[in-house]
Amino acid sequence: MVDRLDELNVGILFVIGGDGTLKGAMKIAAEIARRDLLIGVIGVPKTIDNDIHFIDRSFGFETAYASAVDVIRGAHVEATGAKNGIAVVKLMGRHSGFIACSAAIASTDVDAVLIPEVPLAFDGEHGLFRFLEKRLEQGSHAVIVAAEGAGQELAPVSGQTDPSGNARLGDVGVVLRDRIVDHFKRARVDVTVKYIDPSYHIRSVPASPTDSVYCWHMARHAVHAAMAGNTEMLIGRWHGRFVHVPMELATRYRKQVDTAGDLWMAVVESTGQPLSWGS
């Protein structure tokens, strides 16, 4: 790749993506430095999971959770269409539950949110099963939103990895559907469970106006940063200001939902679910 950049006399490489993309960009930047070439490498954070540190949000996040709200509203209609209807919606979020949390708060139709940061437990007084029983008694329906990385301790482990080296996750949506059906069957309660996985739909929607404007500002600042001679850094907005973040710092670890912070407290207050699942 560096050979080709040098052949084409490219002076600036803009890398657009998330954690894995930025780690790849760091390797390219290291090889450029080893060869003592004058090529700048600038990152533009684009990941719907919003898991890059030291920036308020990445491009694509607002579009993703806004699109997820429409799916949740449809799931709510499905859940209310039958007595004891339960809708399970699986959203993106391998390691961070930002999309699930934001979409749930925005929709106001969600009864339980499951995220990777909060271990899932089915049984016990504060387990998911008991919570669902109470919800069905109160309103005859329930909507569950689960990030794809939630409940992995209860999902079958494949032991496989994707081409980028990431572990292939178990399908928490299928686990939820099957365990809920089995639980209420044993309890002799008739339920109708609908499982919805809108991931590809959400990934394919056009950027929202807010995301489009944000992306334009990041692109403009990325060009200014590169023309000023910066390299191996990404553009981001931090506390309302656009800043330059070293790639090594931004990729050191993933940003996750603070389970003692305001976002998770808002989810708990909105849904009425417990702070954590368990006995």
Q: Is residue 278 part of a domain?
A: no
Q: Could you read off the pLDDT of 107-141 as tens digits, one per residue?
A: 999 999 999 999 999 998 899 999 999 999 988 89
> Which of the four pLDDT bands, split at 50, 70 and 90, describes residue 169?
confident
Query: Within this chain, do residues 103 and 42 fall inside the same structural domain, yes or no?
Result: no
Across the range 188-194, mean pLDDT stands at 94
- Kindly state whether residues 152 and 245 are assigned to the same domain: no
Q: Residue 196's beta-bridge partner residues?
A: 89
Q: Does some domain include residue 259?
A: no
Mean pLDDT, range 77-99, rounded to an integer: 94
**Which strand (E) or helix (H) includes residue 13?**
strand 12-17
pLDDT score, position 196 = 95
Q: What is the CA radius of gyration of the chain?
A: 21
Instruction: Check residue 153 and give its pLDDT.
Output: 82
| Same domain assignment for residues 237 and 141 | no
- Of 205, 237, 270, the position where a domain reaches its end is 205
| Beta-bridge partner residues of 45 | 17
Q: What residues are paired with 15 via a beta bridge?
A: 43
- 49 in active site: yes
What percentage of the chain's residues is helix, strand, coil (to nearest 5)?
A: 40, 20, 40
Task: Report the C-alpha gap between 48 and 94 in whole angstroms.
Answer: 11
Looking at the fold, whether 134 and 23 belong to one and the same domain comes out as no
Q: Is residue 266 part of a domain?
A: no
Q: Per-residue pLDDT averaged across 260-266, rounded?
A: 96
Q: pLDDT category, 166, cuts 50, 70, 90? A: low
**Same domain for 68 and 181:** yes
Enter the tokens of residue 83.
Answer: 């007595």
Domain extent at residue 170: 62-205
The verdict on 31 and 161 lying in the same domain is: no
pLDDT value for 12? 97
273 assigned to some structural domain: no
Q: Is 138 helix (H, G, I), strand (E, B) or coil?
A: helix
Q: Phi and psi for 184 in degrees, rounded to 5?
A: -75, -25
Is residue 76 within 8 A of residue 48, CB to CB? The reply is no
Position 49 in a domain: yes
d(CA 261, CA 132): 25
Same domain for 74 and 179?
Answer: yes
Higher pLDDT, 221 or 170: 221
- Counting the structural domains of the chain, the total is 2
Residue 265 CB partners (closer than 8 Å, separation 6+): none
279 confidence band (pLDDT: 50, 70, 90): low
Exposed e or buried b for every residue in 152-170, given b needs 16+ CB within 10 A?
beebeeeeeeeeeeeeebb
List the catalytic residue out of 49, 51, 111, 211: 49
Do 124 and 139 belong together in one domain? yes
Residue 164, pLDDT > 70, answer no
* Whether residues 157 and 41 fall in one domain: no
Q: What is the pLDDT of residue 112?
A: 97
256 falls within a domain: no
In a domain, 240, yes or no: yes
**Percent of the chain at pLDDT exceeding 90:** 84
Given a cut of 90, whether residue 215 has pLDDT beyond it is yes
The separation between CA 265 and the C-alpha centre of its own chain, rounded to angstroms, equals 18
| Confidence bin at 72 (pLDDT 50/70/90) | very high
Domain at 150, CATH number: 3.40.50.460
Per-residue pLDDT for 231 more than 90?
A: yes
Q: Does the pLDDT of residue 156 top 90, yes or no?
A: no
Which whole-number Å values give the CA distances from 40 to 28, 34, 44, 193, 225, in the listed order?
A: 10, 13, 13, 52, 9
Contacts of 47 (CB under 8 A, 6+ apart): 17, 18, 19, 58, 60, 61
Any idea what the CATH number is for the domain that residue 234 is in?
3.40.50.450
Same-domain status, 78 and 137: yes
Query: Are 70 and 128 part of one and the same domain?
Result: yes
First to last CA, the chain: 53
At 16-63, the pLDDT tens digits run 999 889 999 999 999 999 999 999 999 999 999 999 989 999 999 999
Of the residues 205, 239, 259, the one at which a domain ends: 205
pTM over 0.95: no
Same structural domain for residues 245 and 193? no
Q: Count of CB atoms within 10 A of residue 148's CB?
A: 25
